[in-house]
Copies of this chain bind each other. A is one copy, B any other.
Amino acid sequence: MGDAFAFRIDATDGGARTGTIVTAHGQVRTPAFMPIGTQATVKAVMPEEVRRSGADILLGNTYHLMLRPGAERIAALGGLHKFMNWPYAILTDSGGFQVMSLAGLRKLDETGVTFRSHLDGAMVSLTPERAIEVQDLLGSDIVMQLDECSKLPATRAELERAMCLSLCWAERCKRAFEGAGPGRALFGIVQGGDQHDLRLAGARELGAIGFAGYAIGGLAVGEPQAVMLSILDTVAPALPVDKPRYLMGVGTPDDIVEAVARGVDMFDCVLPTRNGRHGVAFTRFGPINLKNARYADDPRPLDAESDCPAARAYSRAYLHHLVKANEALGAMLLSASNLAYYQTLMATLRAAIASGRLADMREEVKAGWARGGLSAS
């Protein structure tokens, strides 16, 4: 175990910030992108490849891990870092989001949520206290409070109820967290959907409770990008300036660039790995769908200038072949290449903020995406 949790801002550019989060498992350069390690693995990518892509931290899903192989089992085996051979920082979610989207037969009240496991049908209970306990057993560096995330569109009454419940659970999580292992940090989560006043009130009340970092939840759940960015314009300035801000579940490269410009420090998203498994590459020239027959004879790599072997050493024709033949190597190469693209984008954003040229970089990056993959390189 190394240092206690800390956050340092090294430079700002408009609303954007670049800095460092210190954890017991190493430093996290911000703005940071966290690959998703749902079931204690970033799907189809070796941990050393995840690291080589530039990731300082990844996200583990409490819902999945508590059901299989079980948090107590992972604890007995030495914790999640050791279990999945990832000695760097780990953030775990609270499990609440997946309970809402995956589990059957949910019963939600002030106490918590009871649900039927999607694996074996067993009834499982998740309370704010249990969410903290499970994440403590996993050994997370960054622990998330249990919250209720509403899908959009939703009525104002529904959004207000979920926001208030999430605040109530935030307080219970903070109390429960006092018994957690050393070196961990607890983040609160702002809810409130697309209602600016609810978001503002939530951000202020969470700040008053006091957390090591603040997440913005309940976005990228079906609303247009403009709505998400407008909510960020409201929420980010209302959060404590000296704590990391984490936009949950976001997003496309464009979402990330825009959110960074609005002061977000952390992101997670399944897109690079999920799209990789579905044959889509993220590149400097925009997305490339390798399933398309136009790539069957294309000798060019995804990006001849990439640092990532998966993007540089294989032709689009070969990737097309692997995807069409449903070969595991297709998912492996495209997932690795996409993670590398995301991490390179984050490094570019950090460098741009540090040198005060984020606005220029934003235009350059978007011009590259607009050029398209066919005319490129």
A329 touches B68 (CB 8 A): no
The docked-state distance in angstroms from the alpha carbon of A297 to that of B73 is 7
Q: Number of contacting residues on A, CB 8 A?
A: 37
Within 8 A of B (CB), among A233-283: none
Please name the residue on chain B nearest to A336 by beta carbon: B46
Of B39, B73, B329, the residue contacting A44 (CB under 8 A) is: B329
Q: Which of B46, B313, B314, B321 contacts A329 (CB 8 A)?
A: B46
Q: Determine if A69 is an interface residue (Cβ-Cβ < 8 Å).
A: yes
Q: Does A43 reach chain B (CB closer than 8 Å)?
A: yes
| Residue A328 CB within 8 A of the other chain | yes
Chain A residues 291 to 338 lying within 8 A of chain B, measured CB to CB, are 296-297, 299, 309, 313-315, 317-318, 320-322, 324-325, 327-329, 331-333
Do B299 and A40 touch across chains, with their CB atoms under 8 A apart?
Answer: no
How many angstroms between the C-alpha atoms of A41 and B321 in the bound complex? 10
**Nearest-Cβ distance from residue A279 to partner chain B, whole angstroms:** 15
Nearest Cβ distance between residue A339 and chain B, in whole angstroms? 14
Q: Which 9 A-B pairs have the closest CB atoms?
A: A44-B328, A41-B329, A69-B321, A39-B325, A41-B327, A85-B313, A77-B317, A83-B318, A77-B299
Interface CB pairs A-B, < 8 A, 18: A39-B322, A40-B321, A40-B322, A41-B327, A43-B328, A43-B329, A44-B332, A46-B332, A68-B324, A68-B325, A69-B296, A69-B317, A69-B320, A73-B296, A76-B297, A77-B317, A77-B318, A78-B299
List residues of chain A with CB under 8 Å of any chain B CB: 39-41, 43-46, 48, 68-69, 73, 76-78, 83-85, 296-297, 299, 309, 313-315, 317-318, 320-322, 324-325, 327-329, 331-333
